[in-house]
Each structure stands twice: as C-alpha cells, then as structure tokens.
Amino acid sequence: MGTKKFLAGYIQKRYSLGMRISGGTLVTSAGLKRADVVVRNHRIEAVLRPGENTGGPQGDEPGIDATDLWVLPGAVDAHTHFGMPLGNGLTSLGWRESSEAALLGGTTTVIDFANPEREETLPSAVTRWRGMADGKIACDYGLHCTVVQASEERLAEIPGLIKAGIPTFKGFLAYKGRLMLEPPAMKSLMAAIAAAGGLLLVHAEDGQMNAEAQQVLTDTGRTAPRWHPLAHPPESEVRAVSQALEMAGKTGCQLEIVHASLGQTAELVGSTRKSRQAEAAVRSTGSDRRRLLCEVCLHHLFADDRLYEAGHKAALAATCSPPLRLNENKAILLEKLATGEIDFLSTDHCEFDLKTKSAAAAGGFPSVPNGCGGVGERLVVSHTLAVVNGKLSPERWVEAVASQPAELMGLTGRKGRLEPGYDADIVLFDPRPKYRWEPLGQSDRAGSLWAGLPVQGAVRDVWLRGSQVVAGGRMIAGEPGGLFLERRF
C-alpha cells in the first residue's frame, strides 16, 4: 500500500472515531445532567454543556442523537467466568458468545479468572487463559489469578504478575479437596499478597462444614438439585467471612469478599472497616487505605431460595455457590449496596445450559456444575428491580455497575467514567420500554434465572473505545475487538 493511500485510510479511520453524542442525560456518580459527549481517538475528549462548542477545529464531529436516552459509561463486571474449561470437559458459553452477551447488556469490560491446574505456574495459567480469550473476546477484559496451592514457588510468582497488570488474586476457603486452601496456606498467601501490594478475593464458605453437610445429605439419599442449598449453610459463609477478615487484619492483606450472599456478610465487612478506622484514628495514622471490599452478585440480590422448591429445572438453573438465600435477605443486600457498604454489583457469570446441568444431575446435586449466567442481564434487571422503584438512585447504580468496580479493581483513568481522557466506552440506555426479558445473544433460555421477567429499560447502542459494537440492541458484525487490560493499584 502506498503511503498516501495508507494515510488517507488512517485519517479517515481516526476521523470516523470522532463523534458527538448530544441531547442525552448523562448518568454519572456525580448525578444526572444534560450534556454532550465528544469522542475522538478512542477516548472521551470533552463533556460539554448542550450545544457548547469545543472551540477548536473539532466542531465537525458526526452527531449521535441521544434525546430521551441516558448516556452511561460502559459497565464493568468485576467477576465473570467466560469459556471456562472444567475437569469433566464441560464448558459454559465460549469467550465470543459470552462477551457478546456482555456488550448487548451494556458491559464493555469484564474481569475474568485465570485458573491454574494444581501443579501449573501462575504465569503459565495467565498465558493459557489469554490464549483462550485473545482474538475471541469482544469486550475488554482483565484477569484475576486464582491460587490453589500456596507453595513457595507459587507465592514467589505474585510480584511478577502484579507488574504484568494482574494485581488481584483469588483464594478459596470453600471446595474442600479441590480448590480449598487450609488456614495456614491461606495465611501465607495473604502475607505474600500483602507484601507485594496486591489484593485477595476470597470465596468465603467453610469448606469443611459444607463437605460435612453434603455428606449428611448424600448419606440419606437427598441428592436431588433441591437439596443443593442445604450443603451450603449460611453459618458456613458467616464463619469463613469472619475467618478471612481476621486473617486479612493480621497479615495486612487487602481483601475482597466476593459474592456476599447474606446481609450478615456485609455487616461483618462493615464493622471491620469501622473498627479499622477507629484504630487508625487512635493511632492518628490517618485513614487506613488498605482496600477491604465487598461484592454482591445479581442472583443473590434479586433471586432467592424459593427457586429450589419450584421444580427440578428451576432448582438446577439456580444451582450456584453460595446458593440463593432467603427472600428477606435480598432487601438487606440491596440496602447495603445503596449505602455503599457493599461496593459494587457483579454477576459471577458462569453459564451452563440446562442440558449440561441436567445430564450432570444424574450423579446427584454434588455433580452439577455450579454457576448462573447474568452478564447480559445485570444492567436491565438491576435497573428494573432497584432503580425504577427508587431503592437505588441512578447515580449510585452507575457507580455500582461501572465506576466503583473500575476504580477499585485498578482501572482508574480508563474505564467506568464519562470523563475526558477515559476510554470512549459508552452506553445509550433507554429507561422507558417495558417488556419481558429474553436472554441475549446465544445465552440459554432454559437455564436462565431471568427469562420471562417483566423488565423496564433497554440497552440501545454501545461503543467500545469509540467503535460502535451494538446498534439498536443488535451486535454489529465484525471481528471481536476486545483487549487485555493491565490493571494497577
């Protein structure tokens, strides 16, 4: 290609990435305001008063009319499992299908998990995971790295991963005999992460207690899917959360309790934060800047354990860990999300179609893969069940699904906000339409917790780094363009 032709194409491409979204209502964590968003070179260049001129030669951007629509930052889901290989060969939807559901649902960034095999090095797991995702994923993504063995070799790999943009790790107090770290191992993992300046995500259920509960159930022939939640008693979560908080305090490790399913979990995190602040005040060391985070997932916030008694299929669809809890619990979690005691709303998206779960159920509930979809549902379902009824203000909603996960997970300056310099990840959301929910893209209807739910609000258009990827609620055909994101604290 000649230089002239190349430059013409280059300039055209750059130009076409410039645009001005006008007439819409910006929903940011600072509140709602009428404003225009100017995009150039993949980034947000300016946020202007309606009609205000940029004052430069850039006044000629192609216009996008957002009248009557909400303009949101592309949402960030800090907890997904796309295309995860399992030991028995089962997989959820692939990277492309899962990420397309994410984009259609207004999520432009996810943070997924690289899960090493027992003897595998952490960098090798990350390389393997990137090999699965790159070229297939249609949204941007980062990775947390799971640690299943706290040997000296593995712990020594942590600082290198943090340098490579993976500052968050995951450890399990649950799944005895598979992923669980015994208390001494968990403690050394926390100490290593604390020393390196990372953060540990903990799946806080007591693996021993769950294993014993499961044994009692299977010994007495109670192996149908409806018994699954009884193998995960609430006491097990409370005990593990307390243990994780205590260990994090002792080791100085930054901690996130993932998928809090009980109000009590958020309370324990909240009271630990308060006592840390009080301690810091006494020692007059200023505020304690170590992160102590609490996440809630869509299904724990808006679905409950009545599904386990609603028939075999419903019980299978709701098979996840921690399980769905009592109906009364949902209001407490939502209140804690509204006040900020719970930091953000993720999905733990881990989709298995109903056929896969049904086939596995022949071996009893312990054989059924745990997980629910939700990455496509998060915005519309939470808008319907929390924003429309006033339980969550639009600004706190945007904070919980975009700004907070981005900022707390190390994406400040790039993702989760509509501010100059940030990536032009933009969602046009129509808060008005009422309809019944249908799973997006290739998500399985039968395995969905949300199919048929009366909802309000729809994701209309989505841009990823200035390129439109969803128009009128449909994917724009093209090669998947998701990028790996290095995250920094």
Find the binding residues for Zn ion in span 128-147 (CB under 5 A).
Answer: none
Of 131-139, 265-273, 347-355, 430-438, the segment contacting Zn ion by CB under 5 A is: 347-355
Phi-psi region of 135 (alpha: psi -120 to 50; beta: other; left: phi over 0): left
Q: Smallest distance, Å, CB 178 to Zn ion?
A: 14
Q: Smallest distance, Å, CB 170 to Zn ion?
A: 8
Of 172-180, 313-321, 343-351, 391-399, the segment contacting Zn ion by CB under 5 A is: 343-351
Q: Is the dihedral of CA 172, 329, 449, 211 positive or negative?
A: positive
Instruction: Indicate the angle between helix axes 263-282 and 234-251, nearest 10 degrees.
Output: 20
Quick one: 64 or 294, whose CB is closer to Zn ion? 294
DSSP state of 385: I
Of 7-15, 310-318, 345-353, 422-430, the segment contacting Zn ion by CB under 5 A is: 345-353
Of 122-130, 158-166, 340-348, 478-486, the segment contacting Zn ion by CB under 5 A is: 340-348
Rounded to whole angstroms, the Cα distance separating 164 from 360 reads 38
Quick one: 77 or 425, whose CB is closer to Zn ion? 77
Is residue 112 at the binding interface for Zn ion, with CB under 5 A as the rule? no
Is residue 348 at the binding interface for Zn ion, with CB under 5 A as the rule? yes
Contacts of 242 (CB under 8 A, 6+ apart): 268
Quick one: 77 or 348, whose CB is closer to Zn ion? 348
Residue with tokens 């090999």: 131
Quick one: 170 or 187, whose CB is closer to Zn ion? 170
Q: Contact at 8 Å (CB) between 17 and 41?
A: yes
Buried residues in 177-189 as b, exposed as e (16+ CB within 10 A): eebbbeeebbbbb
Quick one: 348 or 399, whose CB is closer to Zn ion? 348
Sheet hosting strand 199-203, strand order edge to edge? 75-77, 107-114, 140-146, 168-172, 199-203, 254-257, 292-297, 344-346
Quick one: 61 or 348, whose CB is closer to Zn ion? 348
Q: Smallest distance, Å, CB 203 to Zn ion?
A: 7
Q: Smallest distance, Å, CB 350 to Zn ion?
A: 6
Q: Smallest distance, Å, CB 51 to Zn ion?
A: 45
Quick one: 112 or 423, whose CB is closer to Zn ion? 112
Q: Smallest distance, Å, CB 301 to Zn ion?
A: 15
Q: Is the dihedral of CA 113, 118, 123, 126 positive or negative?
A: negative
Side chain identity at residue 404, one-letter code: Q
Is residue 461 at the binding interface for Zn ion, with CB under 5 A as the rule? no
Of 148-156, 213-221, 342-350, 468-476, the segment contacting Zn ion by CB under 5 A is: 342-350
Measured CA to CA in angstroms, residue 439 lies from 304, 316, 371, 418 at distances of 19, 17, 16, 28
Q: Which residue is nearest to Zn ion (CB)?
A: 348
Quick one: 305 or 348, whose CB is closer to Zn ion? 348
Find the binding residues for Zn ion in span 199-228 (CB under 5 A).
Answer: none
Q: Smallest distance, Å, CB 39 to Zn ion?
A: 33
**Number of separate helices (H) and strands (E) present in the chain:** 16, 19
Q: Smallest distance, Å, CB 400 to Zn ion?
A: 18
CA torsion, ordered 261, 262, 263, 266, to nearest 10 deg: -60
Quick one: 207 or 457, whose CB is closer to Zn ion? 207
The tokens describing 332, both together, are: 């407490």
Q: Contact at 8 Å (CB) between 299 and 262?
A: no
Question: How many of the chain's residues bind Zn ion (CB under 5 A)?
Answer: 1
Q: Smallest distance, Å, CB 82 to Zn ion?
A: 11
Binding site for Zn ion (CB under 5 A): 348
